Structure 1
Amino acid sequence: MRIKKSTKALAAAASLAMMATVGLSACGGSSNDAETTADGKVKITMWHGFSEADGKTLESIVKDFNKSQDKYEIDAQLQPWSTIGETMVTKVTSGDGPDFVTTGADNGQGWSIDGTFQCVTDFYDDKDSGTDEYIENVVDQITFNIDGSEEKCGVPMGYAPTAVWYNTDMWKAAGLTDADYPQTWDELLEVAKKLTKSDGSQYGIALPDLGWAPFLKGNGTGIYTTDGKVSINTKENKAFLEKMRDFYKGGYSVSGMDETAARESFESGQSAMVIVGPWEDQASTDKGINHDLFPVPNGDGTYVYPDGTKGSNTGSTGLYWWVTSQVGDSAKKQGIYDFFKFYNNHDN
């Protein structure tokens, strides 16, 4: 999915651990004081968690922005995703945190409501910001009710769908061809079994046993119904989870993995497949893994999406930029807004 109608934005992803936080002023401070660099530029701190090729791309864009003008200097700091979630709120409270960060809409909503993030409706109100080119449903994801007022609280950073990446050497060795691309979830599990070696030296798929919201929608009824009712304990969900329990017990995937461990299993040659976003392409190339991809196959779930479809197991990562409340109305805010415009232009 493109963030702008004319823009191919950086595809990057990851998710932050949501944590309980205590109140800050939603409006932020009003000080015009801001730290400056030795050459007089306003220093702005960014936190991000992109540690691979996507991080190099982001750093390149930041470098180009810093060279493009003489008022602001973005300091892009790499932080583990978990560290951002664990430490950001405390540091922002003391005024020693990042000025802006990237995370998803779910985390961003909570932090916007409690005041850790300050909303950016004024950025959208500026006709020169380019926000009229943003896709409507992408903006809807970060439009929240803040103290009774509808506010836009984030700026699109990147969207990326998941796919099944597979080791082409292992695929061929198992006698599989393009005709064997699975069309259903059950077929995917059968392919994984064919790619598994009984001596434990090779697993069919590196499948994390967390973050299963898309799978429960694609194969069951989802965690919640579309009207917000809890539906985790349905017979359809139970049947799917029992099927996957048997799959793990059969030794076709390592159990107890998160997404990072699953990717490492694939990139080390331990597992033949993994379900992850497009950043896997460069990571696998760097590790010398010959690879290709096919769509995540549908299941037979009964969850109905707003467009009327059902059975999809495809997840996606949607990331946004968020301004922290320590920025307030200081000189940093305009520099951050200028970066948002720069980042989401056509070339970048």
Structure 2
Amino acid sequence: MTRKRLILGAGIAAAALVLAGCGSTESNSDEPLELTFWHGYTEADGDVLEQIVSDFNDSQDGIVIKTEVNPWAVIDDTLLPALSAGNGPDIVAMPAERLPVYADKGAFVSLDDFYADPANNASAVNDGAVEMITVNDTKYGVPTGFVPLAVYYNKALFEAAGITDAPATWDDWVEVAKQLTVDENGDGTPEQYGVVLPDHATVANGLWPALFYGNGGGIVDGGDTAVIDSPENAATLEFWRDAIVGDKISPTGVDGIGADELFSSGKAAMTVGGPWMVFIAADNDIDYGIAPIPAGPVEQASSAIGVSMAITEQEDAAKQAAAEKFFAYFLNDENSVTWSLGSGWPPLRSDIPADAVAENPTVAALTAQSAFAKPLLPGVVNSTDVLTAVDELTQRALAGEDIAALLAEAQTSIQSALDK
């Protein structure tokens, strides 16, 4: 999945969801039960998902799953109207931080019983991934991805600068980035940046939370309390503003997609991203390495982003059972490995041995980093407004505004979003 397709566009339609009016189509007893599955996977991950769906359809006679592929933003914009009109999907995949929004509106069925049955292969699903699909103590989804953000670096640029190791701490990160920043004509605008750290729309909004975590800060506590206005977060913003603006190791005013473009063109030696960076690097003939986000003053931490499947609430017990059968198939031993190797995401189940995915170096690297990954806004219903407030905070902080005032403003905005 590319980041461009992962980042969501417009918000949810304002109209209230009228699920009670959603009809269901009972299948003829002589015909297989047909389920529609919306997802936004379009790269190699899409190919492997389509193959798993095809294999599932071939594995039995009673269920046929038909996929419909749309950009993630389109799914986000059209799901509620489609469900209200009675022509929505039976299964839908979406970025996991969006799932609580729909669960809170009654769009998805509970999967607590699914997780309670050992036959469904869900008991060992990564705890952080499960946390992202849990809203008010109820599980509403089955993850298709849970991955820590990581540093992707251009090996050729590292070698040219005589740098042999990826940075391990924030101080190392800044020093390495300084060495890799090149301003050949001395005009104050580097031709090559040591790193690109976007200040808004940042890596599906996970970059700055990761930096806050590394210095002992945070954004939301317990799903309902804003904690953005803290001394730890103020120190984080001061540190990175000094490095980005003062030392010019990264451009300002750049969003996540712009960061990908700088890295892919060789104009930035390091960036922060997810598995999609593998495809970007390959498309641009960049020999890349993957390293953890360097440790902050307090801890080694990274944000983890995810994608999850859910079953829509359309009052059809047979379809729910059929969808759960597919979920169990998706999570079985063979498909857990097949999906991980093909998608580039770490295994969803913690009991998959490391050697089962060792042939894919990206998966192996990211799997090792999953131990210190923190899920992005787990269980937060109004995640869009929360992340928008973080974007505004970071962009204005790097533009030079007063950090203390910005944090107080963000605290009010985020708490207001949580209270809606």
Same fold (TM over 0.5): yes
Contact 1:104 1:318 survives alignment (8 Å): yes
Partner AA of 1:241 in structure 2: L
Q: Which residue in 1 is equivalent to 2:151?
A: 164
What are structure 2's unaligned runs of at least 5 residues?
185-189, 336-420
Displacement of 1:224 in angstroms is 3.6
Displacement of 1:127 in angstroms is 4.9
1:316 equivalent among 279, 304, 328: 304
Q: Which residue in 2 is equivalent to 1:31?
A: 24
CA 1:255–1:94 in structure 2 vs 1: closer, same or farther (change >3 Å)?
farther
2:240 equivalent among 233, 241, 244: 244
Displacement of 1:92 in angstroms is 1.9
Aligned length: 321
Distance 1:34 1:329 in 2: 10
Structure 2 residue 276 is the aligned partner of structure 1 residue 289: no
Displacement of 1:341 in angstroms is 1.3
Distance 2:195 2:275 in 1: 17
Contact 1:35 1:43 survives alignment (8 Å): no
Say which SS state the counterpart of residue 118 (structure 1) adopts: coil
Q: Which residue in 2 is equivalent to 1:274?
A: 271
Displacement of 1:184 in angstroms is 1.2
**What are the within-5 Å matches in structure 2 for residues 1-348 of structure 1?**
14=6, 16=8, 19=12, 23-24=16-17, 31-33=24-26, 40-135=31-126, 138-145=129-136, 151-178=138-165, 181-199=166-184, 200-210=190-200, 211=205, 212-219=208-215, 221-225=217-221, 229-249=225-245, 250-300=247-297, 310-325=298-313, 327-329=314-316, 331-348=318-335
Displacement of 1:285 in angstroms is 2.2
Partner AA of 1:55 in structure 2: G
Contact 1:158 1:319 survives alignment (8 Å): yes
Distance 2:31 2:223 in 1: 53
Displacement of 1:216 in angstroms is 1.4
Partner AA of 2:235 in structure 1: A
Displacement of 1:347 in angstroms is 0.8
Displacement of 1:262 in angstroms is 2.0
Distance 1:151 1:260 in 2: 34
Displacement of 1:142 in angstroms is 2.9
TM-score (norm 2): 0.67
Distance 1:35 1:323 in 2: 21
Q: Which residue in 2 is equivalent to 1:307?
A: none
Distance 1:243 1:33 in 2: 60
Contact 2:35 2:90 survives alignment (8 Å): yes
Contact 2:108 2:312 survives alignment (8 Å): yes
CA 1:136–1:169 in structure 2 vs 1: closer, same or farther (change >3 Å)?
closer
Contact 2:37 2:66 survives alignment (8 Å): yes
CA 1:174–1:44 in structure 2 vs 1: closer, same or farther (change >3 Å)?
same
Contact 1:34 1:332 survives alignment (8 Å): no
Q: What do you get for the CA RMSD once the two structures are aligned?
A: 3.3
Displacement of 1:218 in angstroms is 1.3
CA 1:333–1:242 in structure 2 vs 1: closer, same or farther (change >3 Å)?
same
Distance 1:142 1:235 in 2: 30
Distance 1:113 1:64 in 2: 33
Give me the identity figure in percent: 36
CA 1:287–1:53 in structure 2 vs 1: closer, same or farther (change >3 Å)?
farther
CA 1:30–1:333 in structure 2 vs 1: closer, same or farther (change >3 Å)?
farther
TM-score (norm 1): 0.79
Partner AA of 1:240 in structure 2: T
Distance 2:31 2:253 in 1: 50
Distance 1:136 1:247 in 2: 35
Contact 2:114 2:324 survives alignment (8 Å): yes
Q: Which residue in 2 is equivalent to 1:303?
A: none
CA 1:222–1:128 in structure 2 vs 1: closer, same or farther (change >3 Å)?
closer
Displacement of 1:155 in angstroms is 1.4
Partner AA of 1:317 in structure 2: I
Say which SS state the counterpart of residue 62 (structure 1) adopts: helix
Which region of structure 1 is more displaced relative to structure 2, 190-199 or 231-240? Answer: 231-240
Distance 2:161 2:21 in 1: 59
Q: For 1:132-184, what per-residue CA distance to the aligned partner results, in whole angstroms no more than 9, with x for missing partners?
A: 34355643443333xxxx53211132221222111111111112112xx2221
Contact 1:26 1:112 survives alignment (8 Å): no
Say which SS state the counterpart of residue 254 (structure 1) adopts: coil
Partner AA of 1:143 in structure 2: T
Displacement of 1:131 in angstroms is 2.8
